[in-house]
Amino acid sequence: MYSIAIDGPSGVGKSTLAKALAKRLGITYLDTGAMYRAMAWKALSLGIDPNDEERVKTFVDDVKIEVKYKDGVQQIFVDGTDVSLAIREHHMSKASSDISRHNCVRTKLVAMQREIASNQSVVLDGRDITSVVLPHAEYKFFLTAKAEVRAERRAKELEAKGNVVDFAKILKDIEERDYNDSHRANSPLTLTPDSVLVDSSNMTAAEVLEYILGFIKEE
């Protein structure tokens, strides 16, 4: 049994990489960002501002977040409702970044993530996996890319789906989330000294996958 921990900023391709790794290695993938997004969905569904810690506290203990897998694809449920698609809406990115600052939210979700990782081989991706959730993971990676490159990739994805793209706005959103996620007091995004730093600015997703696989002995 072994764990692979991957951290990095928004839009760097962590989940694409982690999914592909899990598939190649035949292990479980846990997208921890989806759990923060699920918490944000709950707050918004109650009309609660994700920044309002006192009001967020009123539901965190009782809300039931469940991670399930259907044909190998992660699904996420909040109090029995499948929110897998709803949490991907654009406004959920900022809301999840905001709610992820609160200790009460992190304590609950980190415990769930450790529980999932405790009895099977896993690959987890997020912001605090190498530093807090699984500091003793066998394999630790920090995936990064320049903000402009991440914004360009995001713009291309949106264009491919037929959207009209405002590049400056996409870049601003990414920079804002980078700042938010790496400057919060609780478990900020950090490069731990024992993580392998991978700058994917000039690499394709396939190249990143092969590079990372080169470190994994259990394949």
Token pair in block for residue 68: 């399930």
Look up residue 143 and give its DSSP letter: E
Among 19, 37, 102, 140, binds ligand DC (CB under 6 A): 37
Q: Binding to ligand DC by residue 128, rule CB under 6 A?
A: yes
What are the DSSP E strand ranges found in the chain?
3-7, 28-31, 65-70, 73-78, 81-82, 122-126, 139-144, 196-199
Query: What is the sign, positive or negative, of the torsion defined by CA atoms of 74, 77, 81, 85?
Result: negative
Q: Using an 8 Å Cβ cutoff, are 124 and 107 in contact?
A: no
Q: Supply the DSSP symbol for 187.
A: S
Q: Indicate whether 33 belongs to the interface with ligand DC (CB under 6 A).
A: yes
Binding mask 98-127 for ligand DC (x = CB under 6 A): --x-------------------------xx
Residue 173 sits in the site that holds ligand DC (CB under 6 A)? no
Beta bridge partners of 218: none
Interaction of residue 131 with ligand DC, rule CB under 6 A: no
Q: Which is nearer to ligand DC, 129 or 198 (CB)?
A: 129
Q: How far is the CB of 36 from ligand DC (least distance, A)?
A: 3
User: Cα 149 from chain centroid?
Assistant: 18
Stretch that binds ligand DC, among 29-37, 49-57, 75-83, 156-164 (CB under 6 A): 29-37
Task: Work out how close the CB of 151 gets to ligand DC at its nearest, in angstroms, rounded to a whole number.
Answer: 14
| Sign of the C-alpha dihedral computed for residues 63, 67, 68 and 73 taken in this order | positive
177 contributes a contact to ligand DC by CB under 6 A: yes
Show the site string, 66-105: x = touches ligand DC by CB under 6 A, - = not: ---------------------------x--xx--x-----
Among 10, 130, 144, 195, binds ligand DC (CB under 6 A): 10
By CB under 6 A, is residue 50 in contact with ligand DC?
no
Distance of CA 7 to the CA centre of its chain: 8
Paired tokens of 93: 């990115």
User: Smallest distance from the beta carbon of 15 to ligand DC, in angstroms?
Assistant: 7
- Residue 13 binds ligand DC (CB under 6 A): no
Number of neighbours of residue 161 by Cβ within 10 angstroms: 8
Tokens of 26: 């035949």
With contacts defined by CB under 6 A, how many residues of the chain interact with ligand DC? 15
Residues making contact with ligand DC (CB under 6 A) = 10, 32-33, 36-37, 93, 96-97, 100, 126-129, 177, 181
